[in-house]
Every structure is written in structure tokens, then in C-alpha cells.
Chain A
């Protein structure tokens, strides 16, 4: 395998999706609209005041939100460490990271429900229920509908601003000749990382953990972080493979870059497992009823099978499968693991949220698929609109040559 050659600097025009973005965006939008209609119809039919649908919707929103947040983390850390290898794959990450406004819009109805005291998803939204439960009333100051809504606004604002700023500065670098925008990105990435860490951590508690408001695990935000970053690397591999199959970035992104993405994927498979196990072991060992009940519901009945699927599908098998250098460099294999791990990430979120809505029988409902299609369709539509006029390669990045020539030892 020889290093990609750099004699002719890549030109901007080659790497712009242009009208093709529009051609792919329309079907995505259609899937989104149809999914939304189906989800609403099925939710209505269920006749439970949309409680079950809210759960599905939260899983779907969380799935695509975590992809974006994983991307956000990746982009910030590249600037923070002044990484050279990743320049050729960074624009794709920037686009994914900047694509949070659509999730904010899709998530808004759930927040609205909370404000209207609808406890179909978050039991603490009902003031009366909180009043009767000492565990909940102790948390009432934090899990307060208006305070919750305000926090959600802050989270999404932080993510959206960060994502758009990173993308804007990076595309500015495509046009100007000096390294100013890159230097600015490097300077600001440290506070950006702090903002990211705090917002993701608290959002994990608020959006997902508070579905079980009496349960608590201080490591929960980190757990969500592990899954987010892992899912982002899987999605990045798939996005790049797709773009390359359509003739984009074919010379720029080489097996060396996939190898590095694969290493990160592997690392975060393990990180997720490490954190998931830490959370489990501390609770198992302390054996306090107010903590163990959460795992008990997930280790009994039909959920036990899902827990096993997670243990092996999200951790053991991909860990062994991605351990070898050859697995990361054989693109077909890497792609397969990326698809598999994205599916596992969806199972993981489903496993976090759904036990409070489904306790027996078939746990999955068509509503879940419809919600997934709806959020996914809109998310991809919005992603393509973001990508449309922009180069898929940071052509002006001062470290681009380094990235093009990148080779693993």
C-alpha cells in the first residue's frame, strides 16, 4: 500500500455535493413525513395519551442527537490536539456535528408535554405524583417543568452554536489563505470542550435518566457519552464509504484514515463497555434497593434477553472482532461492524428508555420504527441541506497535506 500522493492539490469544486444533495434529500424528507404520519397514527390508535409514542420518539431523537454530539466531540478534540491525520474526514464530522437544530425542533413537543404536565414520558412532570412521593419531592427543585425546559434550551443552544461555529470557521478556512480561522478554532476548543462535557452530561441526566426519576447513577452522563462517540465513529465510517462509492473523497480518504477511525471505534466500544460495567458493578455490589431496581427490571422477563444482546453485541463480539489491525483495514469488514454497532447503539438507547413503557411480550412496536424513520428522515434531510454548498474536504486547512500523506506504522 503506498501513501496517497499529493502532487496536485485537491480543488474545491470536485468535493461539493451540489445538486446531488437535493436529489438525495427529497426521499429523506418523504421518509420523514411518512414516518411522522405513521408514528402519530399508531400513537393515537394506542389510546394511552401518546405515552408509548413519547418513549419511541425519545429513543429516536436520542439516537440521532448522540450521533451529532459524538461528531461534536470528535471535531473539538481534533482542534484541541491539533490533529493532522483527521483533516480529510473532519468536514463530514463537522456537518454531522452542526446538524442539531433539527433534533431540537423534533424534541420540542416532548418538552411542551412536560410544560403541560403530561407525565406520559417523564413521571415527574405531574405535580400531584411528585407531591405524594418523598423521593420525587426531594428532587422537585431540579426536576421542575419550567427549569427543565430552560435547561433543554440551554443544551440545544450550546450544541447548535458550537456546531455551527466550528463549521463556519472551518469553511472560512477553505477560502482564506492565512491560518487565522484554524488558529481561532484551536484557541477556543478548550472552553468548547468544557461546554460540551457539561452540557452532554447534564442532558444525559435530564433527557434519559429522568425517565426513571427515582433512580440515579452519577456515571450516567459518561455512559451516554461513550455510546455517542462510538456511534459517531460507526456513522463516520458509513458516511465516508457512501460518499466514496459516489465518487467523493476517493483519493483523499485512504485505508489509513479508515484504520484510525476503526481504532477509535474499537476504543469506544471498549470505553462504553468499561463504563457500562462500572455502573453495573457499583450498583450490584452496594446492593441498595433504590438503585438495583433499575437493573432488576432489565434483568428479568423479556428485557433479560436484551441485556444479553447488549453485553455481547455491544461489547464482547465487536471487541474481539475489531481487535486485530487487519479487521480495521479490511473495509468491508469495518463497514459491517459499523452497521452492527449503529444498530447496537439503537438497542442501547431502547434498553435505557423503554423498560418504563414495556414490561412484557414483544417489546418493539411499529411505532418505534415509524419514529425512527421520521426523525432519521428529517435528520438526513437537514444534513444534506447543510452539506449542499460546502466542500466535503477542508481544502484550505493548513494540515491538509499532512492528512493526505498520513500513514500508520
Chain B
């Protein structure tokens, strides 16, 4: 029984579809169309046919250039951003490396080049092939299903400038004995079905939600601590100040220097300046000249090292102390008020010793604070004590006049 065309659809003619017996036949037809000047036709086969692009007269693909361009864009963007963020916008020295050290930037540059080149190749391929294409009228032809199995097809589209219903048909019939099919537009459109479109739109809208959340959060002020998704340095396996540690016999977690050891860079210099003592007694006078610059230094160091516990004005109400009170820490010992008569009565040598070696529950700061600075801190503590316990006579006359005016 002779084969019969199974023409489908009733709408406008979309393409003329021809079936062939084998690769040679379909390639021959493609060559004939190419030589006749046709451009808009497609060959469908179950497997890739070597050389079909030449038979069809397709020009070599531009895809490699797109991939190269995208790759080079990746290279330059990655280098630019790393240079901008590390060396310009937020310069930050890391382990003595140059702010913009090429070796450190190569891995990111490499990955980004590969990423954009692959994007270029993948999306470039889709765009050059005008994909994704949801539907073509040839798909509706029942014979065409064999294109994924053992059928070789060629479809000439109507919008080819050379297309002529009779002439094209005659040309194709020279190459195949099988009946030609007319593929017509049926009701099925080339557009995506409404349900799919709705789904895509809602997914895209949902995808915007996190972004919207970020924008909202950034416009808001909050006094609560931020949510930490990654707990990096928030919870560390460390001991808090004054915490107990059963490992040591004295039960203290904060260790003082081991007996007989010397901190790096610190030469033993016996004398008042390193011990705070004159003979066996605490010195009452400063072993270094006290100048305004020295006091300023002391004020700065005090602000850094002492205020967290003792507070700006030395009443023992620093932030750490306030926090400890808020948390109702069991073992917390309130930092002394520096204006306590007892503390005020201490000789400067003893205050110096307190800073360097600590006292009772107060940790030693000799590690962080060089000796000269410790004296500066003590000088500032003295100034602070004086300021909080001053008589009117202590205020300079000019300032006194201002006070009187108020």
C-alpha cells in the first residue's frame, strides 16, 4: 500500500515536510536546496550527521567568539572588582601582602572567566538557535515522530524568500519517493501555554521576595543584635574575663605570666620605672616627667584599656561592668571606683603595679601596655581623681568666671 500524506492542521501553511530513506538522500536534498538559494529550512535526523552544516550551507558558527568575548569580560570584571574592593574602596592589609597582589586574585579571576565563558557558550547557543522554542507545526505531524527514531526529515519553511508552493514541492520530490506533508498552523500557538506562563511569573515573583526582604531590612533601624546565619566569631570556645577554670590550681581562667618568664621585647630594667618601688616602698612620685603630651597619651591609653570596666570617669561603671550587672553574673566582682578614698590614697607606684600586674580579680595589663604608657595611664588616673574631688579653688580663675556666669 502506498504511503499517504497525513497533512494536519487547517490554518496557514507553515512548512513543507519531506521524509527521506537515509542520510545520503537527506544530505542530497539539502545540497539541492542550498544550491537553489534556500535559507530557511531545517534537517531533522535521529543522530548528528557529519557535514550536514556544509550541505545546508550554514556559515560557521559565531559561538566561539561569543564565548571568548564573555570569557574576557569575566577576566576583566573579576580583576577590576578585586582591585576596586581590595585596593581602592576598602584597603585592608592582609598578612603583609600587597593590597592588590595578582597571585591572590588569580583563582577568582580564573573561576569568573570560566563561568562567564560557559554562560556565553550556553546562552549564546540558545540565542543563536532561537531556543527555547515551545512549539513548531511540524511536531503535529504523526509521521514526524520518527525523527527521533529512524526517520530523516527536511522542512522548508514558507517564509523562505525562495519558497514557491509548486517549485519547492517539485524540487523536493526529485529527492524522495515519499509523499510530502504540508504542515499548517493549527490552533496550537507557538507561545507558552497560560498555565506555564503563570507558573513562571509566580516563581520569578517569589524569587524577588528575599531581595525585597533585604531592601526592607536595610531601610530599618533595629536595636536587636543582627541575626547571624553563620556564627563565625560570635560564639567562640573561649573563657570570659574572671571566669573560673578548674584546670589550674588557682582556678583562674585568665593567666598571668608564668613565673620567671619575660615578655618578648621587654628587657629587665630593675628600678622604679619598671617596678613602681623605691626601695621596698611604693613610690609617691613619678619616675618620668609628666607633661601635657604625656597626660594626653595616658588619657588615650586609659580610654582603650581601662574604660571598658572602670568607665570614662572611673566610677567602675564601664560597659563590661554594666553588661555583667544586666546578666546578673554570679561571680562578677564590681570594678573598683577609682575615686574610692582607699584607691585615692594609694601611692602612684602601687597604681602602676595594679596596671602592670593586676590586682585580685583585675587582670594584668603589663602585656599590652608598655611601662612608659602605664605611667602615663597612672598620671591620667591621678588627674581623673583630682577632677572628681576638686575644690573651687582648684578651678583656674578664667574658668571660674565662666562658671559664675552660669
Contact = CB atoms under 8 A, between A and B. Distances in A.
Interface in A322-340: 323-325
Interface stretch (A115-123, A168-176, A277-285): A277-285
B50 A3 contact: yes
A407 B48 CA distance: 12
A287 interface: yes
Interface stretch (B95-103, B151-159, B272-280): B95-103
A172 B48 CA distance: 35
A251 to B, nearest CB: 18
A281 B107 contact: yes
Contacts of B96: 287
Contact of A407 (B50, B64, B104, B106): B50
Given A285-B95, A285-B104, A407-B50, 20 more contacts: A2-B51, A3-B50, A277-B103, A277-B106, A280-B103, A281-B103, A281-B104, A281-B106, A281-B107, A284-B101, A284-B103, A285-B97, A285-B103, A287-B95, A287-B96, A323-B68, A324-B64, A325-B64, A409-B48, A409-B50
Interface of A: 2-3, 277, 280-281, 284-285, 287, 323-325, 407, 409
A316 to B, nearest CB: 12
7 contacts: A2-B51, A277-B103, A284-B103, A324-B64, A325-B64, A409-B48, A409-B50
A91 to B, nearest CB: 26
A2 B68 CA distance: 28
Interface string B49-84: 011000000000000100010000000000000000
Contacts of A285: 95, 97, 103-104
Contacts, number: 23
A374 B373 CA distance: 72
Nearest to B104: A285
Contacts of B48: 409
B37 to A, nearest CB: 24
A342 B97 CA distance: 35
A409 B61 CA distance: 12
Nearest to A408: B50
Nearest to B50: A407
Would you list the 6 A-B pairs with minimal beta carbon distance, nearest first? A281-B103, A284-B103, A407-B50, A277-B106, A285-B104, A281-B106
Nearest to A281: B103
A277 B96 CA distance: 20
A321 to B, nearest CB: 14
Nearest to B107: A281
Interface string B80-95: 0000000000000001
A323 B64 CA distance: 10
A19 B30 CA distance: 51
A339 to B, nearest CB: 26
A255 to B, nearest CB: 14
A290 to B, nearest CB: 17
Nearest to B71: A323
Nearest to B53: A409
Contacts of A325: 64
B367 to A, nearest CB: 26
Contacts of B97: 285
A285 B104 CA distance: 7
Indicate the member of B48, B51, B68 with the most A CB atoms within 10 Å. B51
Interface string B29-54: 00000000000000000001011000
Contacts of A3: 50
A402 B89 CA distance: 58
B61 to A, nearest CB: 10
A265 B107 CA distance: 22
A280 B50 CA distance: 44
Contacts of B103: 277, 280-281, 284-285
A323 B68 CA distance: 10
Contacts of A277: 103, 106
Contacts of A281: 103-104, 106-107
Nearest to A405: B50
Interface string B285-320: 000000000000000000000000000000000000
Contacts of A2: 51
A281 B48 CA distance: 44
A311 to B, nearest CB: 11
A292 to B, nearest CB: 12
A2 B95 CA distance: 59
A323 B51 CA distance: 23
B33 to A, nearest CB: 21
Nearest to B97: A285
Contacts of B106: 277, 281
Contacts of B101: 284
Contacts of B107: 281
A280 B106 CA distance: 11
A156 to B, nearest CB: 37
Contacts of A324: 64
Nearest to A324: B64
Nearest to A282: B103
A317 B103 CA distance: 19
Contacts of A280: 103
A135 to B, nearest CB: 24
A163 to B, nearest CB: 35
A325 B106 CA distance: 26
A277 B104 CA distance: 11
B108 to A, nearest CB: 12
A409 B53 CA distance: 10
